[in-house]
Amino acid sequence: MSDTVPGIALAEIASRVGAAVEGDGTRRVARVGTLEHAGPDAIAFLANPRYRAQLAVTRAGAVIVAPADAASTALPRLVAAKPYLVYVKVATLLHPPAAVEAGIHPTAVVGDGARIDALASVGAHAAIGARAIVGARTSVGPGTVIGAGAEIGDDVTLHANVTVYDRCVVGPRTMVHSGAVIGADGFGMAEEGGRWLRIPQVGRVVVGADCDIGANTTIDRGAIDDTVIEDDVKLDNQIHIAHNCRIGRHTAIAGCVGIAGSTHIGRNCMIGGAAAIGGHISIADGTVIGGATFVTSPIEQAGVYTGMFPALPHREWKKVAARLRRLDELADRVRALERTLASRGEP
């Protein structure tokens, strides 16, 4: 193909993502696609063997495959031991984020003493509180609110309608999606005489570098000390992290997880969707928690933990539930039988 054709030559891509190239290294691709729907200007990937049959019929201009699948296609290809990881790097290369257009929209409101870097972008109707700091090349989306004294690092992306409360910190290169709330009050109440007294929440939320915070995720500020999200934590949509939690570096949490207050999640953990984590417990580094699992006590040893009961046809589930309700009765009968046998001297 001519150099005037859009896209990047496969050989150049290979050198930049750490893969081997087989076939026509001059083939140019401009975007990524799936094996099923990619066109000649796209590169697709095969990471799941269930889709191997699509490799023979794909219309993609090039593919990313593992060494074991390299001989299964005549298409130009990138070959790597971890094709999905290479796909991620290729997608990042071919679909880079839009450059930040520096400047403050005329409808934005900037408080006294706020410091906004000259290379930052502040969108329409955004509000920057007094004494807040916004770093270089950071993008503050339309309608986003940054509270007084908050600190937003360099190269941060705050999408539209994000709220960062007073004094909270967001580290460099972090991305926060729309509707997320960082630093709302934790749920702290004390009962007196039949009514609730609100406990002031005087801590902050401190988010580290290179984090992702999904849409409508909420992270509560600490009651006294800070709620801390360490570097490279990845949070999906609609997660709730309560006050005084600490989420360890390189931990990933899927959507709809709820984490109660003062819980410490270790580093390099993975937590499945809709899991519920009780308060005032610690979870060891490297722990994997399955979706919809309810954790009520500390996990001191890394491993895979699952508490979800898989779905069954309704009639079968009713039978299982009926038997579960009789477990206490059955345990009592077994203990009584054991005592009877012991009294007779029988094993």
Catalytic positions: 243
H or E, element range at 247: strand 246-247
**217 within 8 A of 235, measured Cβ to Cβ:** yes
Q: Phi-psi region for residue 21, left (φ > 0), alpha (ψ -120 to 50) or beta? A: beta
By DSSP bridging, strand 276-277 and strand 175-176 are unpaired
Position 79, amino acid: V
Helix, coil or strand: residue 201:
coil
Chain centre distance of CA 232? 10
State the Cα–Cα distance between residues 94 and 80, nearest whole angstrom.
18
From the list 53, 50, 31, the residue with the least C-alpha distance to 40 is: 31
Q: Which residues pair with 184 in a beta bridge?
A: 220
Q: Residue holding tokens 């928690």?
A: 289
DSSP helix, strand, coil percent of the chain (3-state; round to 5): 20, 25, 55
Query: Between helices 83-94 and 10-17, what is the axis angle to 10°?
Result: 110
From the list 189, 235, 239, the residue with the least C-alpha distance to 210 is: 235
Q: Which residues pair with 271 in a beta bridge?
A: 253, 289
Task: For residue 15, give every residue at least 6 positions away whose Cβ sits within 8 Å of its Cβ, in sequence order, or none.
Answer: none
Token readout for 136 is 């270089």
Q: Residue holding tokens 């990524």?
A: 32
